[in-house]
Structure 1
């Protein structure tokens, strides 16, 4: 074999997990290289909220959160019901044991963390559940990236001003009370301050990646963009990694190495694979168009173990008149709204975690054929008080109506007819829900019972998630099962090693959305997806150093 280059470790993918794996390897004195399929770096992490869910981390504990490894593992055991090969006890224990070590390790290399002390786990009432386990990067001046400033991936999640995901609950309700309005004004003034000082201030996912990238550049880690992985190179027995075949400038490019960390995206933008494993297409996904399952195809070629291929980081989504996907987090949780199926029936807690809500839509479709599409029903107070996507309160563009994105009507009867929902059924559903609001208890689905529900609620209401639907005009918006990416793929063990027939392949590791998530079929807390990829990127690089060098 004629090799074009030689490195100790090839990291495939430049998202959070790939960057942390490369940083950890370089810190150990190894020579890593990052290869990235696209012309931009950052992966799905750069398009995310930027939080990392890490039990027992010292940043949150300094801010007053009482936590321990034991409580973190107790919580993961309680809420991750699927005990499949990706979410074994050993994998969860490795996550909890190493997560807080990773946070401290990166801080020692220059990372600046901010705690999200008010952001609850998604099942905070479960054993070991907490409020405040998420950390995120401090607002960063992207100009410090120099030549790499313009190569950072951006998208719809890029905030119009620098902010912290731990404070984002103030944004949708900022026009309802002075406390949250003051928080929003403070964010805006901080953004103006950065501009006056000549900074390109970025936060959330882009800011997190930018800080990781600055550390990587300081460690002289090379990153090769537009260099997709094409194949793995094994020894003659197919038991050990000897290199990879990539593509560069349209030609085969061979890199010799002892270890490969697969840290790329999933297959959410591959129509054939989506149909095969999810029985839907990827049109409602919020993830990158380049995530077409390249790693899954390689895994199938080498008959690697896979799991959770039928799952994703689901969540209710809308598609506007221009075909843009909007992943709904806070909108559906606010008072004066419900979600119903095509028969006009509620069928889940609208304020629950997005992954659970996404599962509910898919299960409704499977059972009744009436879940896709569903409808979010809102009345005038929802539109007058809260943000909806990028629409300000009291500001509903006519284009949103004319394009059919929002259906508007003066009465519930008219709204039902326009949406082709049985009129009497919808009226009955709303009457029942309004009764729950008056009593302060959602007897059907427990909306508002959890601290997570209330985090995205109206703090000026006695019941922050409950509000009657009775004052026109009324609005309806189609709801689909969107996602932030698939979460199934290669099965790795507690060391991050990729498995074949339950046994590790020497030198091959997997993390990120191309692997099967340690979180199983749930989303334990804010930043669980980034947490999984970064922590196992860290674990993988440490194991490479210990076992191969």
Structure 2
């Protein structure tokens, strides 16, 4: 083979997991190249909330959380019931044992972390569940990464101020109580302070990516944009390099190890239809995630798992075609989600992945759940932020173009939405009765601390409020996602498997691999947590593998 370049490690994908893998490899003395298919840095990580779910980390402990590896494993064993090869106990143990080490490691290299002390696990009442395991990067001055600032991935709607995902719950109810109002005012004050300093302050996913990129530059990682992976190169079942494309030219790079850290197949219509029976219209993931790695994996027969699943969640398409992944909007009082028969069929305030699963299962059962409808009463629109719409400020354009349906009666709303009237009337009557009692006897909405996190503390049940005062509003609900969660099966070291055996020199992390979380979302940051931790694990394993004489190495 005639090689154009040689590296110790090639990392594919510039999301958080890929950057952490590259940082770790370079810091261990390995010559490292990070390639990114797109023309901007960060992948879906840059579009995310930026949180990492890392049990037993020192940042959360300093903020007052009492946690342990044993409690974390108990929790994961309880809520992650998928018994596939992506979510083995060995991988869970590796995740819990290495996560807090990674956090400290990156902090020692200059990363600044902030604890999400009030953010609950998504099943906090389960054994080992906690409140406050999530962390995120501190607000970051994008000017610190120089020219790379111009090529950071931006979302369809960027936050107007730098903020922390662990405080986002205050936004929708900022105009309902002094505590949340004060938190939001503090956000604006922080943003103003950064402006006075002449900084370009960014946060959440983009801030995390930028902070990690700064460290990658300092560690000497070679970075290349617009450089898609075209193929892997093997000798005797061992990866020895990659074929890449850049400026319409093909290059062959020799490598001792390759870490695949790309996205999934969210934007590939054929793969979405095959595995999920839906299209690509509702995903919030990076437009560059077209399943390239999955197609390579299938070409070589690598083991895969969880291809039928994703990081689901209720989503809408607004009047401008922008995707909105609904988190807090569906949790506030004076709202319900119904299918086309007018019936509720899940707890609207539960974790978004569970809610997304509920939509898909209902569609399979009845054929009348896509779209479903989020119905809001006047008090919902008068009190709470919806997406980027302030209370009492519903743009006429959103109504005129049909994104938001508005009616003075339930009868009229049902008609313009195509919802069965009798079913909707019965559902609302039953729901209003639950509100009087303060208990959702049908789906348990408001029974969990996670539900309440996004609720309104002024109510008996923070998630329940009647639907009785017009006007009424409704938006279509689709099964959106933050990314697919199935792909290459890896072991506890992040090594790719084929027929249960190692593919020497090949590692995978992130949404191109099968998630350690199985079919659930354990807590805030359950996508970025695993991708970064297994990126860290993979790079360390490569370093140890290369550092030990091959004859003395016991391969697992």
Q: Please report the TM-score for the alignment, with normalisation by the length of structure 1.
A: 0.99
Q: Equivalents in 1 of 2:38, 2:122: separation in Å? A: 33
Match for residue 182 of structure 2?
182
Aligned partner of residue 527 in structure 2, secondary structure: helix
Q: Runs of 5+ in structure 2 lacking a partner? A: 548-556
Written as runs of structure 1 = structure 2, the 5 A alignment for 1:149-160 is: 149-156=149-156, 158-160=158-160
Which of 239, 242, 264 is the aligned partner of 1:244? Answer: 242
Q: Equivalents in 2 of 1:227, 1:313: separation in Å? A: 26
Written as runs of structure 1 = structure 2, the 5 A alignment for 1:224-373 is: 224-235=224-235, 237=236, 239-373=237-371
CA displacement, residues 110-139 of structure 1 (integer Å, 9 cap, x when unaligned): 011100000000000001000000010111
Which of 530, 533, 546 is the aligned partner of 1:532? Answer: 530
Q: Equivalents in 1 of 2:418, 2:163: separation in Å? A: 40
Match for residue 48 of structure 1?
48
Match for residue 481 of structure 1?
479
Moved more, 360-369 or 413-422: 413-422
Q: Equivalents in 2 of 1:174, 1:461: separation in Å? A: 15
Q: Equivalents in 1 of 2:258, 2:289: separation in Å? A: 19
Match for residue 383 of structure 1?
381
Q: Equivalents in 1 of 2:116, 2:142: separation in Å? A: 22
- Say if 2:112 is the partner of 1:89: no
Match for residue 208 of structure 1?
208
Deviation at 1:2, TM superposition (A): 1.4
Q: Equivalents in 1 of 2:420, 2:7: separation in Å? A: 64
Written as runs of structure 1 = structure 2, the 5 A alignment for 1:66-81 is: 66-81=66-81
Check conservation: 1:260, 1:508, Cα contact below 8 A: yes
Q: Equivalents in 2 of 1:138, 1:241: separation in Å? A: 37
Aligned partner of residue 333 in structure 1, secondary structure: coil
Match for residue 34 of structure 1?
34
Match for residue 496 of structure 1?
494
Aligned partner of residue 257 in structure 1, secondary structure: strand
Check conservation: 1:361, 1:371, Cα contact below 8 A: yes
Check conservation: 2:156, 2:322, Cα contact below 8 A: no
Check conservation: 1:373, 1:480, Cα contact below 8 A: yes
CA displacement, residues 406-465 of structure 1 (integer Å, 9 cap, x when unaligned): 110000111111111121211110000000000010000000000000000012212100
Aligned partner of residue 330 in structure 2, secondary structure: helix
Number of aligned residue pairs: give it.
547
Computed over aligned residues only, the root mean square deviation of the Cα atoms, in angstroms, reads 0.7
- Say if 2:143 is the partner of 1:143: yes
Deviation at 1:158, TM superposition (A): 2.8
Deviation at 1:479, TM superposition (A): 0.3
Question: Runs (4+) of structure 1 moved beyond 3 Å?
Answer: none
Q: Runs of 5+ in structure 1 lacking a partner? A: none
Which of 398, 403, 406 is the aligned partner of 1:405? Answer: 403
CA displacement, residues 499-528 of structure 1 (integer Å, 9 cap, x when unaligned): 000011111000010111000000000000
Aligned partner of residue 84 in structure 2, secondary structure: coil
Deviation at 1:157, TM superposition (A): 5.3
Aligned partner of residue 441 in structure 1, secondary structure: coil
Q: Equivalents in 2 of 1:38, 1:422: separation in Å? A: 45
Deviation at 1:168, TM superposition (A): 0.8
Q: Equivalents in 2 of 1:60, 1:373: separation in Å? A: 39
Check conservation: 2:338, 2:373, Cα contact below 8 A: yes
Aligned partner of residue 315 in structure 1, secondary structure: strand
Q: Equivalents in 2 of 1:359, 1:157: separation in Å? A: 26
Q: Equivalents in 2 of 1:548, 1:369: separation in Å? A: 54
Match for residue 103 of structure 1?
103
CA displacement, residues 23-64 of structure 1 (integer Å, 9 cap, x when unaligned): 100111111100100111111111100000000000000110
Deviation at 1:189, TM superposition (A): 1.2
Q: Please report the TM-score for the alignment, with normalisation by the length of structure 2.
A: 0.98
Check conservation: 1:268, 1:292, Cα contact below 8 A: yes
Q: Equivalents in 1 of 2:247, 2:450: separation in Å? A: 48
Match for residue 514 of structure 2?
516
- Say if 2:25 is the partner of 1:9: no
Deviation at 1:156, TM superposition (A): 3.0
Q: Equivalents in 1 of 2:517, 2:193: separation in Å? A: 39
Aligned partner of residue 528 in structure 1, secondary structure: coil
Check conservation: 1:113, 1:135, Cα contact below 8 A: yes
Q: Equivalents in 2 of 1:526, 1:118: separation in Å? A: 11
Deviation at 1:548, TM superposition (A): 2.5
Aligned partner of residue 332 in structure 1, secondary structure: coil
Match for residue 117 of structure 1?
117
Q: Equivalents in 2 of 1:373, 1:293: separation in Å? A: 26
Q: Equivalents in 2 of 1:149, 1:187: separation in Å? A: 23
Deviation at 1:4, TM superposition (A): 1.1
